[in-house]
Amino acid sequence: MSTLNASGWRPEMTENDVTTPSTFTGNRALMLEEALIFEIGDEHTTGVDLDAAPSVQSRLGGMDRNRGIGLPGLSEPQTVRHYTRLSRQNYGIDLGFFPLGSCTMKHNPRLNEKVARMKGFADVHPLQPQETVQGALQVINELAFWLIELTGMHGVAMAPKAGAHGELCGMLCIKAALEARGEDRKVVLVPESAHGTNPATAAFAGFTVEDIPATPEGRVDLAALKKRLGPDVAAVMITNPNTCGLFESDLKTISDAVHAAGGYVYCDGANFNAIVGKVRPGDLGVDAMHINLHKTFSTPHGGGGPGSGPVVLSEALAPFGPIPYAARYADGSFKLVEEESAGEEHPQTFGRMTAFHGQMGMFTRALSYIMSHGADGLKQVAEDAVLNANYILRSLEDTLEAPFAAFGPCMHEALFTDNGLAEGFTTLDIAKGLIDEGFHPMTVYFPLVVHGAMLVEPTETESKAALDQFIGALRSVANRAKQGDPALKTAPHFAPRRRLDETLAARKPQLVWKEPELPIAAE
């Protein structure tokens, strides 16, 4: 790649340069092509030799399966290679920078992984007698203490298993509190700058959702919100920092107004990593806020899990929080307050959200993260995350439109739009071009408040050198999109897969595996 031009792209490079020569195998050097397991495996291959199963008296009353179920078998080396090859086509935070906005893909210190794997934590079973899991309960209780401390709140529900699950927990607390007051408030106000899960949660909890517009500065329109408050408003759900990557600086004023009108304030605190150690939501009048342990307090969370979304609660809402919760008694022992004991200790609980008490593995990771960083370290997490995002914002605002950059610094993520690209070029082209540059794309087309959004969250993890490389790559790709480089329209060229027809993939999924017909044996 010694002939790169200033924009980082070989000007003479054409589509053909990239796609030819093709190989006999479809492999590209040591990047191996891999088919689906259903295409390479068959029913007759297996990794182990087992004796034929002894015939047994069926106990299924004639409902026996009389055919194989068609699962493909592979030998052991084939199996190992299949999954190893697939894993090499994967991209993760341990390979490189992962700038997904609103996802907080940060490095997860290995220390926390080690702690979570300690036998005493990893091997506990939720149905063990409580006197045998005192240490685990202590971890839950201590983490609960620090979450309350860091947020300035009154209580915390540890059970919710993700951010959105935490939102539901908070909204159910609000519902229970309104019921206890004998009030039937139905409306939840959700500003445009809120995360998409907020209106979904409010609707799921049985409320009617109404939008509150955003100002040109990307924040809640305070006047519009105040005007809408009234006796039918149960709550306001505000994301802070919001999905434009901005701090909702009017939050205290909003909370006061909502409380004066008899409502509650739900704050989506998934982005707590931007303010941890700097601001306590309790001081801003928040009544309920979920914290995504998997974003702020470490845990690898690619591929959809695991998550953990404890909800901190104000004095007004804490009595309604779910069971079970880990309580510490005067004699120093720990106990889960469950249905049986809730009657005396937690009589107003709205009930149970999960079978057990939450994600133990994530609790140990989060507590390990908090304790190893300490108060000064957590504050630095927020400062570095914000500094990194602003470095990206200021480095690229001359290349990409940054709609809110003129109004001051951003928080943990930098927002750009597709305004100013050449005719026919879009945010999607920039995202695909970044793949060729070896970067996972940023979040695209979210938030919805701006056109063709590109939301970049560097987190506190990245070094200046890594950010400079990303900024260079994004500038190069953005300039190609502004100049209308046709090769960008067909990017990625170097990835294991070319650009997919996403509409076709959604409308006509080609599911290779055919479910075998399973005739049920008749007696």
Ligand X SMILES: *Cc1c(COP(=O)(O)O)cnc(C)c1O
Q: Which residues are near ligand X by CB under 6 A?
A: 102, 162-164, 195, 197, 239, 268, 270-271, 292, 307, 309
Q: How far is the CB of 294 from ligand X (least distance, A)?
A: 6
Decide whether 165 or 432 has the Cβ nearer to ligand X: 165
Decide whether 382 or 481 has the Cβ nearer to ligand X: 382
Q: How far is the CB of 284 from ligand X (least distance, A)?
A: 16
Decide whether 279 or 488 has the Cβ nearer to ligand X: 279
Q: How far is the CB of 166 from ligand X (least distance, A)?
A: 8
Q: How far is the CB of 185 from ligand X (least distance, A)?
A: 23
Count CB neighbours of 110 within 10 A. Answer: 8
Decide whether 102 or 388 has the Cβ nearer to ligand X: 102
Asked whether the bond before 54 is cis by omega within 30 degrees of 0, the reply is no
Q: In what order do the strands lie in the sheet with 288-290?
A: 155-157, 311-313, 288-290, 264-268, 233-239, 187-191, 208-212
| Partners of residue 266 on adjacent β-strands | 237, 288
Distance between start and end Cα atoms, the chain: 70
Q: How far is the CB of 486 from ligand X (least distance, A)?
A: 36
Q: Give me the sign of the Cα torsion angle 154, 158, 160, 161.
A: positive
Q: How far is the CB of 243 from ligand X (least distance, A)?
A: 6
Question: How does DSSP classify residue 459?
Answer: T
| Partners of residue 42 on adjacent β-strands | 73
For 320, counting Cβ atoms within 10 Å of its Cβ (0-12 exposed, 13-18 middle, 19+ buried), the class is: buried
Decide whether 178 or 411 has the Cβ nearer to ligand X: 411
Please identify which residue in the block is written with the tokens 């939050």: 251
Residue nearest to ligand X (CB): 163
Q: How far is the CB of 193 from ligand X (least distance, A)?
A: 10
Q: How far is the CB of 248 from ligand X (least distance, A)?
A: 12
Nearest-angstrom CA–CA distance, 76 and 328:
49
Nearest-angstrom CA–CA distance, 415 and 155:
34
180: its two tokens:
């206890």
Decide whether 163 or 191 has the Cβ nearer to ligand X: 163
Count CB neighbours of 200 within 10 A. Answer: 15
Long-range CB pairs of 8-14 (<8 Å, 24+ gap) are 8/437, 8/472, 8/473, 8/476, 9/476, 9/480, 9/485, 9/487, 13/487, 14/487
CA angle 156, 158, 159 (to 5 degrees): 135
Decide whether 307 or 319 has the Cβ nearer to ligand X: 307
Question: How does DSSP classify residue 240?
Answer: S
Decide whether 433 or 447 has the Cβ nearer to ligand X: 447
Q: How far is the CB of 268 from ligand X (least distance, A)?
A: 5
Q: Contact, 240 vs 267, CB < 8 A?
A: yes
Question: How does DSSP classify residue 319?
Answer: G
Decide whether 164 or 400 has the Cβ nearer to ligand X: 164
461: its two tokens:
């993890």
